[in-house]
Amino acid sequence: MNMIVTPASPATPNGTTRPQVRIVIVGHVDHGKSTLVGRLLHETGSLPDGKLEMLKAVSARRGMPFEWSFLLDALQTERDQGITIDTTQIRFRTNSRDIVLIDAPGHAEFLRNMITGASQADGAVLIIDALEGVRDQTRRHGYLLHLLGVKQVAVVVNKMDRVDFSSERFKDISDEISAHLNGLGVKPTAVIPISARDGDGVAERTDRIGWYKGPTVVEALDRLEPARPLEALALRLPVQAIYKFDDRRIVAGRIESGSLVAGDEIVIMPAGKIAKIKTVESWPVTPVAGRQGAGRSVGITLDRELFIERGDIIAHAGTAPRETRRLRARIFWLHDKPLAKGDQLLVRCGPKESRATVVAIEKAVDPGELSSSENKAIGRNHVGEIDISLSNPIATDPYTENPRTGRLVIEVSGRIAGGGLVLSVDAGQRAVPVDIVPVESALRPDERSARYQHNGAVVWLTGLPASGKSTLARALERRLFTNGGSPILLDGDTLRAGLNSDLGFSATDRSENIRRLAEVATHLARNGHIAIVAAVSPAREDRATARRIADTAFREIHVATPAGICEERDPKGHYKKARAGTLASFTGIGNDYEAPQAAELVIDTSKRTVAEAADEIEQMLKTTGVLFDELVDLAANI
Amino acid sequence: MDHLDQLEAQSIYIFREAFARLKKIALLWSLGKDSNVMIWLARKAFFGRMPFPALHVDTGKKFAEMYRFRDHYGKEWDLDLRVEPCPPIDAVDPTLPPAARSAARKTEGLKMALAKYGFDGLIAGIRRDEEATRAKERVFSPRGLEGNWDVRDQPPEFWDHFNASPPQGAHLRIHPILHWTEADIWAYTKRENIPIIPLYLSQNGKRYRSLGDQDITNPVNSTASSIDEILIELEQTKVPERAGRALDHETEDAFERLRVAGYL
């Protein structure tokens, strides 16, 4: 069965458009949402020709009376269950608005979909059965709309025909729901008595509701304000990707707020690097002149080569977002397993992702009860306020300052498990105490490189256990030393015996282990040495941290020996123990190794001798400016 | 930014997310107006080139004009074109009505192509406004190991955050133009001057609104012989877009059954 309604927002040939408003209709499952939607489509002339007649014929064939809700029950499964099961988008027009209706189901089990729908809405219609009055679920929906920041809420009291169009009954319900919504800081834009089935109050003030002087549903929809402009806010361009398809290095993303133009001085957060926008690239015409505003997907080139990665935020200097490792968020939880203090999560803020830990649960609320429960966990479909500690710094804004960048989602096992609004960011978590005064080296970098015939570098070997990292590292160390260089081996396991002996193998400890390795290696690199790090370093994000610390000195080598061969080699017997279940948190036999996507070099040691692999590394270090040419000549003469 | 700019920017965002977060993707090119707009949007997203293959799952029963279009623009747009065949009709569920059964060949062809290349994401040009079951779709829509769609257990998707981690062996459908309407497609095609197959324009009082296999697609009555005239016609008509698609009308749930099994 098809259900097509007239497209409400056609880009007409002359290019004119009308304000588009996205709304959600929420309410208890039996209070008549689908009936209201069916009626609205009919009253606004949005139904395809013959649709009504066809449905009436289907109803007759099935021996049941026609219902307006049949219009929406488009799926066979829905007819089987007797409930609407998911968010549907339907479009229709009022006099001055194009309305996109996100039809959200009321059944508690599918509440997450309502949240999905409501989160995109500019306004909402809350529907209440005149006979049943304000129910728990009605209160819950009102509360969720408040939490999600939907400020324009029209209340519809349906099934007035069942209470003989009693103005007293209407007033009771109107007072009760208005008080509830006002208590939440939401002032209803209208409270409308209707009978969706008969049409009273939907598009017409009929005699039966002659005592009512307010707007009809269609009129109320017509008065909804579209979302406010984002262009007036500070520039936020979250980086989706860096493209090097040709000789251009294009930083691509969508401008979430503010605007930019070629020539702007920008700051890249969280690193805080400064650059100028050289061009704004496009296709088929490029470059494009003129200011680009919020909502545009753009690509820019910069006047200098900087290490930028997906998830960074480009802003204007002076109005940059705050960098933080800790924030407070108001979240709604959609996952089966309640969210508890100490839980490890993945937080996404635009394209940026970071692993995170729940440090505290400040509030946990069942929206139906409207009472704070014990602050230990946030259950499914509940909301709460939590403090999150992030393993990588992110740049973000409180949602009151920026509704686009001030929101996040939480993933559990690769699936979105909740969403939230950033209430506050705790800047300065990484601030260096003022009484620390770093002592600078007595030697200049060029003095060292003249002696060693190379620049300082961090050569980072990552790969599965037994992939050959340590063997390669040792071979490389020997070769560089033979050539007069100053290599220093930093083996992950060796450092765990001393510097990192306080760390275990939890995700947080692994991150800290990598951070320390990277800091030590970078210190060596800054002093002209080539630090060779051999560490499994399974998490992509941790390696990105290492790259950020070492910056331009970083050279990543993926030792990509096939897993089967690594397990066969197993020189330390770890695979065997892990298979036997006696070695926990072992990377290798699960899927927990995240291969690099843009390593400077990839080596499969099952296809190369150690000497060949060392040749390749040497060649890479030469072409990327670490080793000087003279060194190559020297090597050729040996 | 006008309405078309907004649609375009959103689609580009989706394309870039798919390219960044999945390992091996392809775009399903049905040669119709929607997938041509998609290719155009992909080239906008990636500054002139589409950095992944265009996959044409070929039933062998398309119109000659469509094959000519494919061969010409596949080259002109510098596409990495992969044409994959569909299995014979005998290999398809015999309980489906005839036209649906014929369309289900494409689902089987798609599964074979998936197995051959190991894509973890397929970009498809479906739109919410064209068919009721498609209105329930997500932008990133997970498919089971058999390519099936579990309409009751779709992951939450909001604020342009997409679930991009299909389980091992499963894949994602990505729908960059889910939020477009038929009129949007035509208005954008005109604005960007995107080439179209002439079958969409009226000849002898009839034109195709939607192009599928030759044996299960019928033209509708129309005098619209230019895109401008199509747009005017769409303003006035209340006939559904897929009216000419036989498979939509066989039984009330034929389309839903196809989609659960992995049809687009």
Tens of pLDDT, residue by residue over B118-137, are 899 999 999 987 766 676 78
- Poorest-confidence range of A127-141, A275-289, B236-250? B236-250
Provide the pLDDT confidence category of residue B254 given band limits of 50, 70 and 90.
low
Q: What is the pLDDT of residue A620?
A: 92
| Predicted TM-score (pTM) of this structure | 0.63
Secondary structure of B149-170 as H, E, C letters: CCCCCCCCCECCECCCCCCCCC
pLDDT at A119 over 70: no
Beta-bridge partner residues of A69: none
Q: What is the pLDDT of residue A100?
A: 83
CB-count exposure of residue A149 (10 Å: 0-12, 13-18, 19+): middle
How large is the greatest C-alpha to C-alpha distance in chain B, in angstroms? 52
pLDDT at A405 over 80: yes
Contact yes or no for A311/A405 (Cβ under 8 A): no
Which residue has better confidence, B209 or A428? B209
Mean pLDDT of A220-247: 90
Q: Tell me if B129 and A91 make a contact (CB, 8 A cut-off).
A: yes
Interface of B with A in 185-204 (CB under 8 A): 187-188, 190
Mean pLDDT of B92-111: 81
pLDDT at A637 over 60: no
Pairing relationship of beta strands A601-603 and A554-559 according to DSSP bridges: parallel
Q: Tell me if B190 and A13 make a contact (CB, 8 A cut-off).
A: yes
DSSP A205-226: --GGGTT--S--HHHHHHTPPP
At residue B20, φ and ψ (nearest 5 deg) are: -75, -35
Measure CA A204 to chain center. 43
Q: What is the pLDDT of residue B147?
A: 60
Q: What is the pLDDT of residue A228?
A: 64
Q: Tell me if B151 and A310 make a contact (CB, 8 A cut-off).
A: no
The answer to whether A582 faces chain B, any CB pair under 8 Å, is no
pLDDT at A84 over 50: no
| Chain B, nearest residue to A248 by Cα | B47
Which residue has better confidence, B106 or A375? B106
Q: Tell me if A115 and B158 make a contact (CB, 8 A cut-off).
A: yes
pLDDT at B36 over 80: yes
Q: What is the pLDDT of residue A5?
A: 38
Q: How far apart are alpha carbons A352 and A349 in whole angstroms? A: 5
Measure CA A447 to chain center. 47
Q: Which residues of A fall within a CB distance of 8 Å from B248?
A: 2
How distant, in Å, are the alpha carbons of A432, A433, A440, A518, B30 from that of A436? 7, 6, 13, 20, 64
Q: Tell me if B135 and A13 make a contact (CB, 8 A cut-off).
A: no
Element (H, E) at A372: strand A371-372
**Span A88-111, pLDDT tens digits:** 567 788 888 888 887 554 444 445
Residue to substitute from B37, B158, B165, B172, interface A, most A β-carbons within 10 A: B158
The answer to whether B149 faces chain A, any CB pair under 8 Å, is no
Q: How far apart are alpha carbons A286 and B81 in whole angstroms? A: 26
Contact yes or no for A165/A208 (Cβ under 8 A): yes
Contact yes or no for A25/A125 (Cβ under 8 A): yes
Contact yes or no for A72/A84 (Cβ under 8 A): yes
Of B26, B191, B203, whose CA–CA distance to B119 is shortest? Answer: B26
Mean pLDDT of B76-89: 92
Q: What residues contact residue A434 under an 8 Å CB cut-off, 6+ apart?
A: none
Calculate the CA dihedral of residues A398, A99, B161, A293 and round it to 10 degrees.
Answer: -60
Q: What residues contact residue A430 under an 8 Å CB cut-off, 6+ apart?
A: A323, A325, A393
Mean pLDDT of A548-553: 84
Cβ neighbours of A2 (radius 10 Å): 20
Per-residue tokens: A552: 């331009």
Smallest Cα distance from B135 to chain A, Å: 5
Peptide bond into B97 cis (omega under 30): no
Contact yes or no for A366/A449 (Cβ under 8 A): no
Q: Tell me if B151 and A254 make a contact (CB, 8 A cut-off).
A: no
Q: Which residues of A fall within a CB distance of 8 Å from B164?
A: 414
Beta-bridge partner residues of A99: A21, A92
Provide the pLDDT confidence category of residue A638 given band limits of 50, 70 and 90.
very low
Per-residue tokens: A81: 């269950």
pLDDT at A460 over 80: yes
Q: Could you report how far apart the first and last alpha carbons of chain B are, in Å?
A: 31
pLDDT at B154 over 50: yes
**What is the complex's ipTM, to 2 decimals?**
0.89
Helix (H, G, I), strand (E, B) or coil at A313: strand
Q: How far apart are alpha carbons A168 and A170 in whole angstroms? A: 5
DSSP A62-97: TT----GGGGT--SHHHHHHTS--S-EEEEEE-SS-
Q: What is the pLDDT of residue A368?
A: 57
Q: What is the pLDDT of residue A510?
A: 85
Of B175, B168, B176, B150, whose CA–CA distance to B261 is shortest? Answer: B150
3-class SS shares of chain B: helix, strand, coil, % to 5: 45, 15, 40
Q: Tell me if A77 and B152 make a contact (CB, 8 A cut-off).
A: yes
Of B125, B241, B141, B230, whose CA–CA distance to B179 is shortest? Answer: B125
Dihedral sign (CA B88, B93, B96, B100): negative
Q: What is the pLDDT of residue B14?
A: 97
pLDDT at A12 over 80: no
Mean pLDDT of A215-231: 87
Mean pLDDT of A143-168: 88
- Poorest-confidence range of A282-291, A443-452, A617-626? A443-452
Q: How far apart are alpha carbons A270 and A428 in whole angstroms? A: 12
Which residue has better confidence, B15 or B264? B15
Q: Tell me if B168 and A116 make a contact (CB, 8 A cut-off).
A: no
Q: What is the pLDDT of residue B78?
A: 95
Percent of chain A with pLDDT over 90: 39
Beta-bridge partner residues of A301: A279
Which residue has better confidence, A39 or B256? A39
Pairing relationship of beta strands A352-366 and A383-396 according to DSSP bridges: antiparallel
Q: What is the pLDDT of residue B234?
A: 87
- From the list A75, A248, A348, which residue is nearest B161 (CB)? A348
The answer to whether B24 faces chain A, any CB pair under 8 Å, is no
Q: What is the pLDDT of residue A371?
A: 53
Contact yes or no for A255/A298 (Cβ under 8 A): yes
Provide the pLDDT confidence category of residue A630 given band limits of 50, 70 and 90.
low
Of A484, A597, A621, whose CA–CA distance to A241 is shortest? Answer: A597
Q: What is the pLDDT of residue B159?
A: 83
DSSP B69-88: HHHHHHHHTT--EEEEE---
Q: How far apart are alpha carbons B233 and B238 in whole angstroms? A: 10
Q: Which residues of B fall within a CB distance of 8 Å from A48?
A: 238-240
Interface of A with B in 318-357 (CB under 8 A): 334, 348, 351
Pairing relationship of beta strands B81-85 and B54-58 according to DSSP bridges: parallel
Element (H, E) at A451: helix A445-452
Dihedral sign (CA A118, A124, A127, A133): positive
Q: What is the pLDDT of residue B149?
A: 67
What's the whole-number average pLDDT of chain B? 86
pLDDT at B115 over 60: yes
Q: How far apart are alpha carbons A411 and B157 in whole angstroms? A: 11
Q: A525-554 as b/e, with b when 16 or more CB fall inside 10 Å?
A: bbebbbbbbbbbbbbebbbbbbbbbbeebb
- Poorest-confidence range of A453-457, B44-48, B192-196? A453-457
- From the list A10, A74, A120, which residue is nearest B158 (CB)? A120
What does DSSP assign to residue B144?
-
At residue B142, φ and ψ (nearest 5 deg) are: -70, 140
Which residue has better confidence, A480 or A498? A480
**Span A509-526, pLDDT tens digits:** 888 899 999 999 999 998
Provide the pLDDT confidence category of residue A87 given band limits of 50, 70 and 90.
very low
**Span A574-608, pLDDT tens digits:** 888 878 777 766 776 666 788 888 889 999 998 98
Provide the pLDDT confidence category of residue A494 given band limits of 50, 70 and 90.
confident
**Span A325-373, pLDDT tens digits:** 899 998 888 888 999 988 989 999 999 999 999 988 887 777 655 555 5
Instruction: Please state at what angle helix B182-192 crosses helix B33-45, rounded to 10 degrees.
Output: 60
Pairing relationship of beta strands A313-316 and A265-269 according to DSSP bridges: antiparallel
Provide the pLDDT confidence category of residue A10 given band limits of 50, 70 and 90.
very low
At residue B191, φ and ψ (nearest 5 deg) are: -60, -40
Radius of gyration of chain A (CA): 31
Contact yes or no for B150/B144 (Cβ under 8 A): yes
Provide the pLDDT confidence category of residue A3 given band limits of 50, 70 and 90.
very low
Instruction: Please state at what angle helix B3-21 crosses helix B182-192, rounded to 10 degrees.
Output: 90
Which residue has better confidence, A242 or A230? A242
What's the whole-number average pLDDT of chain A? 82
Which residue has better confidence, A290 or A573? A290
Sheet containing B25-28: which strands, arranged edge to edge? B81-85, B54-58, B25-28, B121-123, B171-174, B140-143
For tokens 């030697």, what's the residue? Answer: A443
Smallest Cα distance from A61 to chain B, Å: 13
What does DSSP assign to residue B245?
B
Percent of chain A with pLDDT over 70: 84
Helix (H, G, I), strand (E, B) or coil at B18: helix
Mean pLDDT of A544-548: 87
pLDDT at A29 over 80: no
pLDDT at B140 over 90: yes
Mean pLDDT of B178-203: 94
Q: What is the pLDDT of residue A77?
A: 40
